[in-house]
């Protein structure tokens, strides 16, 4: 495959997949979020998106990104340095719980325009950039496995397989973006998560943590509704 052919695969629109594939991908994504044993594993993908959101916004707001750690219990930590208060710190803290849903929304927009291969390669680039900032072994393995799956599917997969993988990934981000927000509030209600993103934002802004959780939930639900509509009507 020459460079020109690769370029055309990246920028040219692919035909819309059949309705059954879109619905099937949505059903599998829902099961991956709803079934607890599966969720324990699939939640690692959400953690990658969550911590990647923190890291990306930290860089965009000119904070110094020190590193990202991903843990086997699906928790994570992103460290950045800079002013301890102010817009940059607020945006960085707010990016985590909104990142999976916003990434899903962006992916839905690409799929609605037929850019399936482009979506896969954008994900590869983002994961490669994140890999450079990972500071623990489990995190490296998690990102390498995820990025390797995207690379293998985009390079060797058939058009149908690429479509199925891309739609499954986007549906998963849209659906999975809701559950961690609900889990966060449940943990806060039990008196845990005192250092959660919502509680950090409360200390930074003076706005209650519950309102930040509500904002996270509104964003995730809005992305699910909008992105899901785009995916379902691109036929």
Residue range(s) defining the domain that contains residue 212 = 19-64+83-233
Whether 143 maps to a domain, the answer reads yes
Whether 102 maps to a domain, the answer reads yes
Mean pLDDT on 224-233: 95
Question: How much is the pLDDT for 14?
Answer: 81
Q: Is the pLDDT of residue 192 over 90?
A: no
Read off the pTM. 0.94
Q: How far apart are CA 164 and CA 53, in angstroms?
A: 25
For 155, the token pair is 């390079």
Band of the pLDDT at 233, cuts 50, 70, 90?
confident
Whether 10 maps to a domain, the answer reads no
Whether 24 maps to a domain, the answer reads yes
Whether 75 maps to a domain, the answer reads no
Percent helix, strand, coil in the chain, to 5, is: 75, 5, 20
How much is the mean pLDDT over the chain?
93
Mean pLDDT on 93-110: 97
Whether 225 maps to a domain, the answer reads yes
CB–CB of 98/53 below 8 Å?
yes
Question: How much is the pLDDT for 54?
Answer: 97
Q: What is the pLDDT of residues 129-167, one digit of tens each?
A: 999 999 999 999 999 999 999 999 998 889 899 999 999
Q: How far apart are CA 70 and CA 44, in angstroms?
A: 8
CB–CB of 84/92 below 8 Å?
no
Whether 78 maps to a domain, the answer reads no
Question: How much is the pLDDT for 191?
Answer: 83
Mean pLDDT on 174-192: 94
Band of the pLDDT at 13, cuts 50, 70, 90?
confident
Look at the chain and report how many structural domains it folds into: 1
Whether 154 maps to a domain, the answer reads yes
Mean pLDDT on 28-48: 97
CB–CB of 171/199 below 8 Å?
no
Question: How much is the pLDDT for 194?
Answer: 79
Question: How much is the pLDDT for 92?
Answer: 97
Q: Could you tell me which residues come within 8 angstroms of residue 76 by beta carbon, excluding any fewer than 6 positions away?
A: 47, 48, 50, 51, 68, 69, 70, 139
Q: How far apart are CA 66 and CA 12, in angstroms?
A: 37
Backbone angles phi, psi at 70, to 5 degrees: -115, 135
Question: How much is the pLDDT for 5?
Answer: 64
Question: How much is the pLDDT for 234?
Answer: 66
């Amino acid at each position: 495959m020459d460079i020109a052919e690769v370029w055309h695969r990246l920028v040219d629109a692919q035909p819309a997949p059949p309705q059954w594939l879109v619905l099937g991908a949505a059903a599998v994504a829902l099961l991956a979020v709803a079934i607890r044993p599966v969720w324990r594993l699939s939640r690692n993908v959400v953690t990658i998106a969550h911590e990647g959101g923190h890291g990306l916004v930290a860089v965009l707001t000119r904070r110094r990104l020190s590193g990202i750690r991903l843990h086997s219990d699906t928790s994570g930590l992103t460290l950045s340095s800079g002013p301890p208060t102010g817009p940059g710190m607020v945006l960085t803290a707010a990016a985590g719980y909104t990142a999976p849903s916003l990434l899903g929304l962006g992916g839905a927009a690409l799929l609605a325009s037929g850019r399936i291969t482009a979506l896969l390669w954008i994900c590869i680039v983002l994961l490669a950039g994140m890999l450079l900032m990972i500071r623990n072994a489990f995190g490296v393995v998690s990102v390498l496995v995820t990025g390797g799956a995207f690379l293998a599917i985009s390079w060797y997969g058939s058009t149908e397989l690429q479509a199925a993988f891309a739609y499954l990934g986007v549906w998963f981000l849209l659906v999975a973006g809701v559950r961690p927000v609900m889990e966060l509030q449940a943990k806060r209600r039990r008196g845990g998560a005192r250092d959660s993103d919502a509680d950090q934002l409360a200390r930074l802004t003076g706005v209650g943590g519950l309102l930040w959780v509500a904002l996270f939930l509104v964003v995730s639900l809005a992305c699910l509704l909008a992105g899901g509509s785009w995916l379902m009507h691109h036929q």
